């Protein structure tokens, strides 16, 4: 706490020294406080340690897990299901979005259907996929693809609609082929939207993958959490939840990195403009 | 849109309804003679609908589910916007909280269920409401922080120099200014809330919309299961329409502002 008040005091006296390390240092402080709280609450008996073990116990359980083959198999299964579902949703969403978005009549005809299908919660499909595929990987895949497909499709549609009509007409008067128009006019305009769609879809896909594992019992980290919880392995449950959270953070970081890399040339990312 | 002629209106209605009509018709005829166990004829499903969703399941499954969703969601909205304003107003606090909040948001909400089950078991209303509230709060919280952070400094200073009180500033300047971002967060939270409403009932097997659908599935009552899936879909659509209606009214000033800025 002394460091906190010291830091706060320094900030108050010397406003806005925009150093890069300050947010990082404060962020580390925040993480340290959270970990300290997780350690202190059960140790001081404020929360029953049968329900919330101290952080050190979780960490020890996690370290133990990291040496087992099952843990890495489950992690691999989760990541594979997530990546495969996301890839299918991206491919289908981009293809459908570019085709539908480029043809005004098609766009007008499909608008209401998309608006209707999109908010249908993908978990509504759980009973159906359980009947058809049981607790196997395709069950999770269907849910992941359904949920993330709409995120991508809607963003691609926005992107294609954003194409400057003058540019499009110019390309047409220069007799660009249809393929060349898509490659040189539509795609660069839609790219930022596609990347946004990717970022949204990446986190939705992870939610659905974990849900399918937890609820249906598709092999993966979600199922491990369910098993640990129902067998009363409390520290293990929390350790696995932490792992899933870290994967979620990594997915976000990865998505943002992809965003920056794919849009190097775009004004929203370029620093030199 | 205001000066659409009668012909334009007819055309719009036609384009809106054409594809849905074709799709439903296709489902109807393609499944008409279906003997597949999983894909009963649409006719059977439609006939099963009124007998399945009578007054009793509405009162004991559907409405309680929706009530839990509403309570959890409103708690998340109040807590997320309140905490978001507090955290967003202080740069230091924001920088301290940011990594922890990013982590909490990145945890897929369904894993909350086993954790909450550890504490309270998973049978009553409370655990389900906590699940929904805890899952919905992060997008609202983070978006509110972002909205408060990006408030126009000039507006704040103007409010101060006009001697606006703290409460008035909070209400008219801070919350108002952040409301478009709060709405973005609230929209993301709504779809998470619907997901959690359903799966919280799949986990703790008592009554509720999700529990009812799973019971149909386990009892191999396939047409009834389909009616449940369709009902759930309709609820999702209705909630998102309701959300858009509320947002449309609450943010009318914002749309007007944007249009004015674009010089339209």
Contact A133, A144 (CB under 8 A): no
Work out the minimum CA distance from A123 to partner chain B, whole angstroms.
6
**Tokens 């459908």 identify what position?**
A96
pLDDT at A271: 59
Contact residues, chain A, for B114 at CB < 8 Å? 214, 225-226, 228-230, 237, 241
Between A27, A215, A241, which is nearest B202 by CB? A215
**Tokens 């078991």 identify what position?**
B121
Average pLDDT over residues B211-221: 85
State yes or no: pLDDT of A1 exceeds 60.
no
Burial (CB < 10 A; 0-12, 13-18, 19+), residue A45, is exposed
State yes or no: pLDDT of A189 exceeds 90.
no
Contact residues, chain B, for A120 at CB < 8 Å? 232-233, 236-237
Between A23, A113, A246, which is nearest B20 by CB? A113
Q: Which of A121, A133, A225 to mutate to test the interface with B (most CBs of B within 10 A)?
A: A121
DSSP conformation letters of A53-109: --HHHHHHHHHHHHT-HHHHHHHHHHHHHHHHHHHHHHHHHHHHHHHHHH-HHHHHH
Read off the pLDDT of residues A98-145 as tens digits, 9 standing for 90 and up: 999 888 888 888 888 888 788 778 888 888 898 889 888 999 999 999
State yes or no: pLDDT of A157 exceeds 50.
yes
State yes or no: pLDDT of B46 exceeds 90.
no
CB contact under 8 A, A51 and B119: yes
**Smallest Cα–Cα separation from B192: which of B110, B102, B77?**
B110
In a domain, B23, yes or no: no
CA A113, chain centre distance (Å): 26
Between B110, B213, B222, which is nearest A214 by CB? B110
Work out the minimum CA distance from B90 to partner chain A, whole angstroms.
11
The residue range of the domain holding B209 is: 44-261
**ipTM score here?**
0.83
In what helix (H) or strand (E) does residue B228 lie, and over which residues does it extend? helix B222-250
pLDDT at B170: 83
Question: How far is residue B26's CA from residue B39's CA, in Å, rounded to a whole number?
Answer: 14
Place B71 in a pLDDT band, splitting at 50, 70 and 90. Answer: very high
In a domain, B11, yes or no: no
In a domain, B169, yes or no: yes
**Smallest Cα–Cα separation from B112: which of A37, A214, A246?**
A214
| Inter-chain CB pairs, A–B, below 8 Å | 165
Contact residues, chain A, for B95 at CB < 8 Å? 22-23, 26-27, 30
**Smallest Cα–Cα separation from A165: which of A173, A157, A153?**
A173
Give the tokens for residue A79.
């990541």
CB contact under 8 A, B229 and A128: yes
CA A210, chain centre distance (Å): 12
Percent of all residues in chain A with a pLDDT value above 70, rounded to a whole number: 90
Question: How far is residue B35's CA from residue B28's CA, in Å, rounded to a whole number?
Answer: 14
Contact residues, chain B, for A245 at CB < 8 Å? 103-104, 106-107
DSSP secondary-structure letter at A208? H
Place B250 in a pLDDT band, splitting at 50, 70 and 90. Answer: confident
Burial (CB < 10 A; 0-12, 13-18, 19+), residue B187, is middle
Q: Which positions ≥6 away from B133 have C-beta within 8 Å?
A: B71, B72, B73, B75, B76, B79
Contact residues, chain A, for B245 at CB < 8 Å? none
State yes or no: pLDDT of A10 exceeds 80.
no
Write the class of the CATH domain A80-262.
mainly alpha
Tell me the three state secondary structure of residue A162.
coil
Longest dimension (CA), chain B: 75
Question: How far is residue B247's CA from residue B253's CA, in Å, rounded to a whole number?
Answer: 11
pLDDT at A5: 44
Question: How far is residue B200's CA from residue A214's CA, in Å, rounded to a whole number?
Answer: 11
**Smallest Cα–Cα separation from A117: which of B3, B60, B234?**
B234
State yes or no: pLDDT of B17 exceeds 90.
no
Contact residues, chain B, for A238 at CB < 8 Å? 115
Work out the minimum CA distance from A174 to partner chain B, whole angstroms.
31
Give the tokens for residue A128.
């159906």
CB contact under 8 A, B107 and A245: yes
CB contact under 8 A, A127 and B104: no
In a domain, B3, yes or no: no
Contact residues, chain A, for B15 at CB < 8 Å? 108-109, 111-112
In a domain, B7, yes or no: no
Question: How far is residue B167's CA from residue B205's CA, in Å, rounded to a whole number?
Answer: 45
Between A7, A125, A132, which is nearest B229 by CB? A125
Give the tokens for residue A113.
């259907």
Tally of residues, chain B = 264
Number of domains making up chain B = 1
DSSP alpha helix (H) spans, chain A: 2-13, 21-43, 55-66, 69-102, 104-117, 126-133, 137-161, 165-173, 178-181, 187-211, 221-230, 234-262
**Tokens 């497909």 identify what position?**
A149
Work out the minimum CA distance from A116 to partner chain B, whole angstroms.
6
Q: Supply the CATH number for residue B79's domain.
A: 1.10.3720.10
| Closest Cα in chain B to A250 | B106
Burial (CB < 10 A; 0-12, 13-18, 19+), residue A264, is exposed
- CA-based torsion, A154, A159, A160, A166: positive or negative: positive
In a domain, B12, yes or no: no
Contact residues, chain B, for A33 at CB < 8 Å? 96, 100
Q: Output the CA angle B51-B57-B62, nearest 5 degrees.
A: 120
Q: Which positions ≥6 away from A206 have C-beta within 8 Å?
A: A82, A247, A248, A251, B108
| Closest Cα in chain B to A124 | B229
């Amino acid at each position: 706490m002394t460091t906190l008040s010291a830091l706060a005091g320094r900030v108050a006296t010397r406003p806005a020294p925009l150093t890069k390390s300050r947010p990082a240092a404060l962020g580390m402080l925040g993480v340290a406080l959270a970990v300290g709280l997780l350690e202190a609450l059960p140790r001081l008996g404020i929360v029953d340690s049968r329900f919330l073990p101290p952080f050190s116990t979780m960490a020890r359980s996690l370290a133990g897990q990291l040496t087992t083959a099952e843990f890495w198999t489950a992690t691999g299964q989760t990541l594979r299901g997530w990546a495969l579902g996301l890839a299918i949703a991206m491919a289908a969403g981009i293809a459908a979005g570019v085709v539908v978005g480029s043809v005004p009549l098609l766009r007008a005809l499909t608008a209401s259907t998309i608006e209707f299908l999109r908010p249908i919660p993908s978990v509504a499909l759980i009973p159906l996929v359980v009947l058809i595929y049981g607790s196997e990987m395709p069950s999770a895949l269907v849910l992941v693809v359904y949920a993330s497909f709409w995120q991508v499709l809607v963003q691609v549609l926005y992107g294609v609609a954003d194409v400057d009509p003058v540019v499009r007409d110019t390309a047409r008067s220069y007799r660009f082929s249809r393929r060349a128009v898509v490659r040189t006019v539509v795609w660069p305009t839609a790219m930022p939207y596609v990347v946004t769609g990717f970022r949204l879809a990446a986190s939705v896909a992870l939610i659905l993958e974990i849900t399918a594992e937890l609820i249906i019992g598709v092999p993966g980290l979600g199922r491990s959490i369910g098993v640990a919880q129902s067998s009363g392995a409390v520290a293990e449950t929390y350790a696995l939840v932490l792992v899933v959270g870290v994967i979620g953070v990594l997915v976000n970081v990865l998505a943002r990195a992809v965003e920056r890399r794919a849009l190097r040339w775009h004004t929203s990312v370029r620093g030199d403009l | 849109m205001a000066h659409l002629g009668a012909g334009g209106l007819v055309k719009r209605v036609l384009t809106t309804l054409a594809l849905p009509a074709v799709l439903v018709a296709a489902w109807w005829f393609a499944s008409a003679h279906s003997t597949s166990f999983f894909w009963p004829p649409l006719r059977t499903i439609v006939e099963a609908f009124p007998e399945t969703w009578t007054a009793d399941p509405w009162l004991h499954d559907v409405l309680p589910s929706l009530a839990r969703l509403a309570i959890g969601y409103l708690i998340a909205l109040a807590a997320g916007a309140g905490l978001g304003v507090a955290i967003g107003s202080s740069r230091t606090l924001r920088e301290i909280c940011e990594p922890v909040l990013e982590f909490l948001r990145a945890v897929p909400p369904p894993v909350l269920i086993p954790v909450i089950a550890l504490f309270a078991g998973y049978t009553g209303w409370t655990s389900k409401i906590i699940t929904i509230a805890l899952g919905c709060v992060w997008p609202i919280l983070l978006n509110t922080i972002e909205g408060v952070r990006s408030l126009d400094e000039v507006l704040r200073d103007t409010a101060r120099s006009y001697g606006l009180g703290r409460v008035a500033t909070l209400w008219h300047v801070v919350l108002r200014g952040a409301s478009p971002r709060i709405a973005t967060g609230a929209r993301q939270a709504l779809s998470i809330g619907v997901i959690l409403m359903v799966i919280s009932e799949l986990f703790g097997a008592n009554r509720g919309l999700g529990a009812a659908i799973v019971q149909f599935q386990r009892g191999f009552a396939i047409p009834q299961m389909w009616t449940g899936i369709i009902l759930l879909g309709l609820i999702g659509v209705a909630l998102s329409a309701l959300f858009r209606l509320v947002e449309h009214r609450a943010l009318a000033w914002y749309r007007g502002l944007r249009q004015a800025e674009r010089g339209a």
